[in-house]
Amino acid sequence: MSTRASVAIAHDYLTQRGGAERVVLSLMRAFPEAPVHTTLYDPDGTYPDFAGADIRTSPLNRIGAFRRDHRLALPLLAPASSRMRVDADVVVASSSGWAHGFDAPGRTVVYCHNPARWLYQTDEYLGGTAWRSPLGPPLLAMRPMLKRWDRDRAAQVDVYLANSRVVQQRIATTYGRDAELLPPPHGMDASAAREPVPELAGWDAGYALVVSRLLPYKNVDAVIEAVRGTGRRLVVVGRGPEEARLRATLPANVRLLGGLSDAQLRAVYAGADVLVAASHEDFGLTPLEAAAFGVPSVALRGGGFLETVVEGETGLFFDSPEPELIAAALEKSEHHGWDPDTLTRRAEEFGETRFIDRIRSIALHEDRRL
């Protein structure tokens, strides 16, 4: 296929700030002329970098409630995705459940963050037994139909890429497909400008940091409990459905921040002395972002963190997301001798240039292995 082939980018929904959305920004830099197709787009909820892009949305985007909380649109997302026509020679889809199902007659390359977590890891996604969640019963009722739709769409994909070994295995188990491993770039430039955060005025550097969406399976509540009643300060950066519940009992030594600019986030990372990563992740992105600033991590021993945290060199592990184990890991990290150069070198191994070169090679069919 010629390098002049038309390319389009697809993504589930642009309503949040997180690693998946940063991957889309990297794809935009890889394919600067490509339009971005997505079901929902909330300029205030996601990164401002999308403001100048050619964003093409589904009719669901006319409903403000869906833009504010994509989960409300769940019964409609499968049919809306099926009708998302993407006319391009090559479609590069950043997907964790929907974009791989867009109507794309051209060649489709799917960069998979995870097979739909709400279908195949429902209890974990909802933070417990599905029947106890308000979203659980309707989701369980729809699950057989959605699984059929999901697997049918996956079968039509030309190339699958996995962001981690965990996801690589899940793609094989769920879809019966082989997928090349291509870790995402971490996207944090420690040399770029920083901007103070007003909510941290009076807080000196040297706090623990969590950067995470506020969802049940992220276990942010366990990290807060680990520092409750102690002298250890904690900064939590994130938004999500758990925010009101967490704020209701937030101790004085914890700050919960949302909606930070990248310049503010860089300042927050630079001021931390340790990152806490307690969630069930498919790729361990935040430890790499922290490492770019010479900051070590204490992380859950499992999933994607096993691929990005080098024990004893860039971080320490705890075996389950329990407050006492997190507290013990934080105490151990405080007395561990960390080498900033080792940390920054680890982050550099996951730079954006490597990702862009590989995704262009695959998408434009320049790789003879495909």
Low-confidence ranges of the chain (pLDDT < 50): 1-3, 367-370
- Sheet (strand 90-95) strand order: 55-57, 36-38, 7-11, 90-95, 107-112, 159-162, 180-181
Q: Which pLDDT value is given to residue 123?
A: 64
| DSSP structure class, residue 41 | B
Same domain, 27 and 135: yes
Same domain, 135 and 255: no
- The domain tally of the chain equals 2
Which domain CATH number covers 22?
3.40.50
Q: Which pLDDT value is given to residue 127?
A: 60
Same domain, 149 and 234: no
The token pair that represents 176 in the structure block: 């019966």
Determine, yes or no, domain membership for 370.
Answer: no
Same domain, 303 and 173: no
Same domain, 34 and 138: yes
Give percent helix, percent strand, percent coil of the chain, each to the nearest 5.
Answer: 45, 15, 40
270 Ramachandran zone, left/alpha/beta (phi>0; psi -120 to 50): alpha
DSSP, collapsed to helix, strand or coil, labels residue 76 as: helix
Q: How far is CA 88 from CA 2, 3, 27, 244, 356, in A?
A: 13, 13, 15, 42, 19
Q: Distance between alpha carbon 104 and the CA centroid of its chain, in Å?
A: 24
Same domain, 248 and 110: no
Same domain, 11 and 78: yes
Q: How do residues 52-75 score in pLDDT, each as one tens digit?
A: 999 999 999 999 999 998 888 888
Query: Which of 203, 167, 198, 197 lies closest to 182 in space, CA to CA?
Result: 167
Same domain, 84 and 232: no
Structural domain range at position 173: 7-185+351-363
Same domain, 283 and 319: yes
Radius of gyration of the chain (CA): 20
Paired with 300 in beta bridges are: 318
Beta strands in the chain (DSSP E): 7-11, 36-38, 55-57, 90-95, 107-112, 159-162, 180-181, 207-211, 234-237, 254-257, 272-277, 297-300, 315-318
Same domain, 147 and 55: yes
